[in-house]
C-alpha cells in the first residue's frame, strides 16, 4: 500500500471521482441498524461485521464474512438488505461541507462512484439534500464491488480522463484500495480513511478549499 505523505497539503487533478456513503452522505446510522440485525440473524458479532461492510456492495461483504456460502444466497440476501436500507432514511444527513463542495466543483469534471445501487443512491442523496452528480457509477454499472478498481476506472473513462489525472474522494478501506488499484490518488474523508494511508486526509469537507484552475482542473487544499 502506498504510504501517506505527511507533508502533503494539497492535491491537483483534472477530474474528481466521488464516493457517496461516508464521503458526501453520512448514512452510518442506517448501515449500523441494518447490518447489526443481519449479524444477529447469522449469530455474528455486530462490531466485526461493521468493520468489513463499509465501501463494499452487500453481497461482497457477505462473501468476505461467509466464504463458504453460495453466491446466489448472498445476492438474494443483499436484495433484501437493500430494500431495508431504501425504506430507512432516518439519520441520513450530508457530510459537513458536502453541499458547498459540490457547488464548488460544478465546473470541474467529476463523477459519482458508489457501491449503492441507483435507487438507494438517489434516495440517500435526496435525503441529504445534495445535488446528484452525473455521470454516476452505481452497483448496476460494475461486475465487481470495491475493492476492485472497476468502478473508478469506468468513472475515469466516462469523463475521458487518464486514471493518473484523477483524485478519488473516499472514506473506506475498500474504496481506498479500489482507488489505489486504479492508479489514482486519494483524498481521505473522515476517521475511517486514516488507517488506509490516503495521500491527503481531512475530517470532513469543511476542511477542503477548492480552487478551479485555468486549465479546467482543480486544486484541493487542506484548510
Q: pLDDT value at position 6?
A: 47
54 and 104 housed in the same domain: no
Same domain, 141 and 55: no
Q: Flag whether pLDDT at 29 surpasses 90.
A: yes
Among the listed residues 21, 28, 117, 171, the single catalytic one is 21
Instruction: Give the domain CATH number at 192.
Output: 3.40.50.1000
- Annotation marks residue 19 as catalytic: yes
pLDDT at site 219: 98
Q: Is pLDDT above 50 for 5?
A: no
- 3-state SS class at 42: helix
pLDDT greater than 90 at residue 176: yes
pLDDT tens digits along 136-167: 999 999 999 999 999 999 999 999 999 999 99
Residues of the chain above pLDDT 90, percent? 96
Do residues 122 and 161 both lie within one domain? yes
- Same domain as 81, residue 18: no
Catalytically annotated residue among 19, 28, 148, 199 = 19
The answer on 117 and 139 residing in a single domain is yes
Residue 23 sits in the same domain as residue 34: no
Q: Is 204 a catalytic residue?
A: no
pLDDT at 88: 96
In this structure, is residue 3 part of a structural domain?
no
Asked whether 94 and 25 are in contact (CB, 8 A), the reply is: yes
What is the sign of the dihedral through the CA atoms of 201, 25, 163 and 172? Answer: positive
Residue 179 counted as domain residue:
yes
Residue 39 lies in domain: 28-86
Sole residue written with cell 497539503: 9
Grid cell 440485525 — which residue?
37
- Distance from C-alpha of 151 to C-alpha of 114, rounded to nearest angstrom: 8
Q: Is residue 109 scored above 90 in pLDDT?
A: yes
Q: Is residue 86 very low, low, confident or very high in pLDDT (cuts 50, 70, 90)? A: very high
**Per-residue confidence band for 7, with pLDDT thresholds at 50, 70 and 90:** low
108 and 156 fall within a common domain: yes
- pLDDT tens per residue across span 16-27: 999 999 999 999
Amino acid at each position: 500500500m502506498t504510504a501517506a505523505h505527511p507533508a502533503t497539503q494539497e492535491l491537483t487533478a483534472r477530474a474528481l471521482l466521488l464516493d457517496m456513503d461516508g464521503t458526501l452522505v453520512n448514512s452510518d446510522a442506517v448501515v449500523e441498524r441494518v447490518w447489526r440485525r443481519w449479524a444477529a440473524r447469522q449469530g455474528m458479532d455486530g462490531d466485526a461485521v461493521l468493520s468489513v461492510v463499509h465501501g463494499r456492495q452487500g453481497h461482497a461483504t457477505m462473501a468476505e464474512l461467509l466464504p463458504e456460502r453460495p453466491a446466489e444466497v448472498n445476492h438474494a440476501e443483499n436484495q433484501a438488505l437493500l430494500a431495508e436500507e431504501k425504506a430507512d432514511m432516518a439519520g441520513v444527513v450530508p457530510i459537513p461541507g458536502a453541499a458547498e463542495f459540490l457547488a464548488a466543483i460544478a465546473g470541474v469534471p467529476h463523477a459519482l462512484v458508489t457501491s449503492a445501487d441507483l435507487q438507494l443512491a438517489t434516495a440517500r442523496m435526496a435525503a441529504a439534500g445534495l445535488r446528484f452528480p452525473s455521470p454516476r457509477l452505481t452497483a448496476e454499472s460494475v461486475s465487481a464491488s470495491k475493492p476492485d478498481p472497476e468502478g473508478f476506472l469506468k468513472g475515469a473513462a466516462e469523463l475521458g480522463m487518464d486514471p493518473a489525472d484523477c483524485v478519488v474522494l473516499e472514506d473506506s478501506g475498500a474504496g481506498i484500495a479500489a482507488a489505489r488499484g486504479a492508479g489514482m490518488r486519494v483524498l481521505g474523508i473522515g476517521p475511517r480513511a486514516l488507517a488506509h494511508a490516503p495521500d491527503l486526509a481531512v475530517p470532513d469537507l469543511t476542511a477542503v478549499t477548492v480552487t478551479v484552475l485555468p486549465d479546467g482542473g482543480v486544486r484541493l487544499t487542506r484548510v
